[in-house]
Amino acid sequence: MSAAPTELPIEVEAFLTHLVVEKGRSPLTIAAYRRDLLRYVAFLAERHTAYPDASPTDVDEFAARLRTDGLAASSQARVLVSVRTSYRYLAGEGRIDHDPTTDTESPRRPQALPKAIPEPDVLRLLDSIGEDEDPNDPLVLRDRALLELLYGTGIRVSEGCGLGFGDLDLDGALLRVLGKRSRERIVPMVPVVVRVLREYLDAGRPALVRATGATRDDADAVFLGRRGHRLSRQAAWEVIRKRGSAAGLDPDVLSPHVLRHSCATHLLDHGADIRTVQELLGHASISTTQIYTRVATERLVAAYRAAHPRAGASGVPAD
């Protein structure tokens, strides 16, 4: 078996030069392209095939080799993108006669499951707000209302920070939310969320209002920062990290989106219909919400295997 090539064909070097000169790619990026393309050219050399003469079958079998070599799907996709990009450029420049990657599909990257924290941890987080501090402090009232709202409704942090007084119907326990692409939806609130919002609006928010210099947007904002301006997403993030750390939770795994994921997962754990969760979260597609059913199922399987009396049985008959 011949040694793997250490040089790329002149056509491929021309492609890399294009990336440097015309696209301004960094040396690290070029090095990554070079490694991927050397791998491909070595595969072609095993088949006694030159780079310009490769066929769609060659490319498909190279993709199969990447799978059998045990590369992660993300690494497979990166290598194939390098190969496809090189052929696409060279075919477009007329340096080669055909592009054999036209019908090649990149491997699907596994969809990351959303993170959720266990219900007891969420309850500890919420119940800890106000411990060892004045429970009537305006910032304590605000933080409690913010976190209860995010977990209780599953709204995005940007949606929570963007709330105005016209979006609240506390008597009806309803929330009007303007989501992505300006899609409006109505979200119900559980009694505890309504109660802590009332407490914050009655006794917390007035103390945060600026005496002078407030904008019209600040005046309409439900959640205010300590200086009286509308609370930003970044400030809300810091509130959650601070409160999570105080409750003994890992601040590196806690975020506004984790509270949203936890709301969805816990609703499904308690039997909520997936269409209801879709409407609540404002997902345009049911496929986005179905990710949470995988989370709930995996949690169910793990709990079953940990708790069932026969879970440890081998299934092998005794002698």
Which residues are identified as catalytic?
156, 180, 257, 260, 283, 292
- Each residue of 293-309: b (16+ CB within 10 Å) or e? eebbeebeeeeeeeeee
Cα torsion 150, 156, 162, 167 to 10°: value is -70
**Tokens 């509308």 correspond to what residue?**
230
Q: Is 30 helix (H, G, I), strand (E, B) or coil?
A: helix
Q: What angle do CA 67, 68, 72 make, to 5 degrees?
A: 40
Can you read off the two tokens belonging to residue 124?
Answer: 């500890």
Q: Percent helix, strand, coil in the chain (nearest 5)?
A: 60, 5, 35
Length of the chain: 319
